[in-house]
Amino acid sequence: MVTHHSTIRASQFKVTLVGTGALGSAIAKGLTAKGYKFLSLINRTRSDAEALAKELNIQHVSDSVEHIPEETNLLLLAVNDSAITPVSQRVAALRLGFKNLAAVHFSGALTDEALKPLAEKQVITLSLHPFQTFTRTSHQNISECFKCYFGLQATELEGIEIGKKLAHDLGGKVMLVPKEAKTLYHIAGAMVSNYLVTLTSLATEVFAGLGLKPSEAFSVFEPIMQSTLHNMRQTSDLREALSGPIERGDAATVQRHLRELSEQLPHIVPVYVALAIETVRVAIHKGSIAQNEAAEILDALETFAKREASA
């Protein structure tokens, strides 16, 4: 493999993809459009691989990694985290040109250590994770969905250069992630994506008290969510985008929220309290709330939390 990013060409790669789920399919479509030659698609459910192969005019499909073509020099593992190491162990037992092979997994949580069985065969290994969300039900435009940062982690320079090439060809930017920081990187992703869904789901429960269905509630939520994102985008300090009763030091409103939740939706109280405490910290850093106002709100939150815990 050529090690210098500027000299790597898409035509050099002979690719096998293992895993044709939402992410794997998006990657295959994105790289095929950039001239990468896919030799094979492999998926546990063969029919899924066949459907994608037909769409992309790829000739070989299989439901077994034992059928990876020998001429493969780029192996993409778009499989569940728990399957990465077992799959790499099975691949390591095959007769392949390991010294000319690069293997990539796309887990946000795992490092290239998950590919150790292949690294021991002198395969170039790397972790390349799009800081993006992919689901079977989403209808993302491939040219748009990879306009994100890719968290890249590799032990060898060759791995870093290959990762940069893949990320840039997919339309993204690269963020180098130290091996020891990979879990922190993944935590941030889970918080900003998964918990956004969770919080919005909780808000729809609150709105159910107004008689609104979840789909109706979201149509109300979306403009304020978009406006908040816009405000965050416009400032160099995210804390400047904070608004609402805590930002204004309005302890009375916070107490009213707590009382209503306690009566109507008590399971949401712990979430509200935890987030309110962190929001006080944000407001303090923003400088929009006085120390005595912050203390009053924190007092109310702590008192209420203790009362709920002992009830």
Residue 137 has pLDDT above 70, yes or no: no
Q: What is the 3-state secondary structure (H, E, C) of 268-302?
A: HHHHHHHHHHHHHHHHHHHCCCCHHHHHHHHHHHH
Residue 46's pLDDT band (cuts 50, 70, 90): very high
**According to the model, what pLDDT value does residue 119 have?**
98
The DSSP-derived string for 160-209 is HHHHHHHHHHHT-EEEE--GGGHHHHHHHHIIIIIHHHHHHHHHHHHHHT
**According to the model, what pLDDT value does residue 3 have?**
33
**According to the model, what pLDDT value does residue 4 have?**
39
Residue 144 has pLDDT above 90, yes or no: no
Helix (H) / strand (E) containing 149? strand 149-154
Q: What average pLDDT is seen over the chain?
A: 93
Q: What is the mean pLDDT of residues 27-52?
A: 96
Give the dihedral sign, CA 238/239/244/246: positive
24 vs 26: CA distance, rounded Å: 5
Which sequence spans correspond to the domains of the chain? 5-177, 186-310
Is 5-177 assigned to CATH 3.40.50.720? yes
Summarised one tens digit per residue, pLDDT across range 162-212 is 999 999 999 999 999 999 999 999 999 999 999 999 999 999 999 998 999
Task: Please state, for a pLDDT cut of 90, what percent of the chain lies above it.
Answer: 87
Residue 10's pLDDT band (cuts 50, 70, 90): confident
